[in-house]
Structure 1
């Protein structure tokens, strides 16, 4: 698989949160309504992927395991302030490595939220099979599992993740389908060998062969994410771009979502603007959801490439 051609990022860009390198007013995104709260359960993962944007691995604990008690504080804040949160999403690392995940899911679902878990559907997930089945029986389709399957072929998926991971992920996906879980799939659009239509057709053939009922024409049921290459040159987003691109800032993830993380060694969790930028301190907005409700300056290449120009979103 050939690497995409890139140019080095202009070092004068993405330096000032207020203005671009050309002196134009940088675009910001206000929190229109907090609809989705993401929880990073920790950066530890059972595998190491080549292009993991968060650098998850069996050794990276830069983001520590968050506990059910810590999450409960944010759920209480949502209830106290009557925030319009509809969904709690769990990402990692591999969320099922966090032993508190079933308890967190139970509390989230019992409070009436939808829950979304991003998983590689490998052994850590299957270790929680009994708890998952109990949650499925009690809460039905309000629990969704989004399985990472980078490509519809084992060759390219395993090239990204590790040899044999495709078979294990597909086995987990088939188990979820047999048990009646609401299941989505996340793939990558950056392999450079097929257009989107061909990718979706390839996944459709795979799912039909394996009896996996996922509508590959639905961009939520099958999300194809663009690559996030921080070294590739991208334009900065100015206030004028909204009109030029005919795009509303309300369509961006940071207009309706925040993410909670627990940094290694920290006394308490913090709230970030975005799931894609867990390590950049300028996107850490405070310790509470109220503190994190301030506008977000689009002062990172991912803001341009992935969210504004790529048009991607992490939730439904």
Structure 2
């Protein structure tokens, strides 16, 4: 009896070669079906949602891939029709105006005073910055080369040189001798021209090197802002007679900084003048137009050029 049953089963498998495999798969799958059926209803529902979401995720990924490929295709076709944005403009201003100054106090104080011009330049894509060099000697010896190198790479930029006129006597008899601003300007322009010729700068680029000075130093601008200076000194004294007028007419023996130091010693309880703090405080509260009009010899020409470049990108 049993042998006949086994024979019939064997015959059925022989008649259907896949039957044994299908039976085996069914036997393996059956425990899983029984296990799933035995799970709580909430668990089975979560598994069902997971399978459905997985299917939708695959569809979304496929759709995204199609859209990305389409976008890349449109980008390739349209790239030639658009003007490329200058790489430098993407990181900062399209045109830079570098003003080389002697020290950190010059940088911070001038940034405070010239804030309206700096902001106008920024709005127009022209960044005005101040770069301290560590002293007058560094400006005289190093900046002409730095300026030529920079303008070789970026001929659209502007480079300003703004040393103090003081001291002058220190350089008597040496290669950097000068006894006036015209002599100082000629000295720097000659040095720059030699480097410009070496680097092969164009004639148009030569005019982007501008030489100015603070006469005789930064503190002349503080004397041009007497109300803010008086507030810093915490005095109601009119301060008449403490310096020459106009304020740029001090001299190499008694430059404006010495005048300001003497005022701090006279009026302040803590008399020491600290240029990186006090000059910034005073010029940050000064009336810009008053300072400009009080310094017509050297500071006002600098302001006119910076203002024109910030607004129009060209000299006045």
Same fold (TM over 0.5): no
Larger RCO: 1 or 2 (CA < 8 Å, sep 6+): 1
Give the structure with higher Rg (CA): 2
Which structure: greater helix fraction?
Answer: 2
TM-score normalized with structure 1 length: 0.29
